[in-house]
A = this chain, B = another copy of it.
Amino acid sequence: MNILVTNDDGINAQGLWTLARALQDLGAVTVVAPDRDQSGIGAALTLQAVVRTRDVDPPPVKGIRAIAVEGTPADCVILAAETLVSGPIDLVVSGINQGSNLGLDILVSGTVGAALQGYFRMVPSIAISVASLTNVQFDAAARTARAMAQTLLNSTSGNGFPTPLLLNVNLPNVAPDCIKQVDITRLGPRQFLENVERGTNGRATHYWIKHNKNINPAVAEGTDIWALRNNHISITPLNGLFGADESASEFQALADAVASELGIG
Interface residues of A (CB under 8 A from B): 12, 35-54, 56, 70-72, 74-75, 78-79, 82-83, 103-104, 107-108, 113, 116, 120-121, 133, 187-190, 193-196, 198-199, 201-212, 241-243
* Bound-state Cα–Cα, A38 to B71, Å: 14
Q: Are B47 and A39 in contact, with the CB atoms below 8 A? A: yes
Instruction: State which of B43, B45, B71, B204 has its C-beta within 8 Å of the C-beta of A52.
Output: B204
30 contacts between A and B (CB under 8 A): A12-B54, A36-B48, A36-B52, A37-B48, A39-B48, A39-B203, A40-B48, A41-B44, A42-B45, A43-B43, A44-B44, A45-B194, A47-B209, A47-B210, A48-B52, A48-B201, A49-B50, A50-B206, A50-B207, A51-B209, A52-B207, A53-B207, A79-B196, A79-B207, A82-B194, A83-B207, A104-B243, A120-B193, A188-B243, A201-B210
Tell me how far the C-beta of A137 lies from the nearest C-beta in chain B, rounded to whole angstroms.
Answer: 18
Q: Are B208 and A50 in contact, with the CB atoms below 8 A? A: yes
Q: Are B43 and A108 in contact, with the CB atoms below 8 A? A: yes
Tell me how far the C-beta of A253 lies from the nearest C-beta in chain B, rounded to whole angstroms.
Answer: 26
Tell me how far the C-beta of A34 lies from the nearest C-beta in chain B, rounded to whole angstroms.
Answer: 11
Instruction: State which of B42, B79, B120 has its C-beta within 8 Å of the C-beta of A43.
Output: B42
* Bound-state Cα–Cα, A51 to B197, Å: 10
Q: Are A50 and B241 in contact, with the CB atoms below 8 A? A: no
Further 20 A-B residue pairs, CB within 8 A, beyond A36-B48, A40-B45: A37-B52, A37-B204, A39-B47, A39-B48, A39-B203, A42-B44, A43-B44, A44-B108, A46-B209, A47-B211, A49-B50, A50-B207, A71-B209, A74-B108, A75-B209, A78-B209, A83-B198, A103-B243, A133-B203, A201-B210
Instruction: State which of B42, B52, B202 has its C-beta within 8 Å of the C-beta of A206.
Output: B52
* Bound-state Cα–Cα, A50 to B203, Å: 14
* Bound-state Cα–Cα, A189 to B133, Å: 35
Closest to A203 in B: B133
Closest to A206 in B: B50
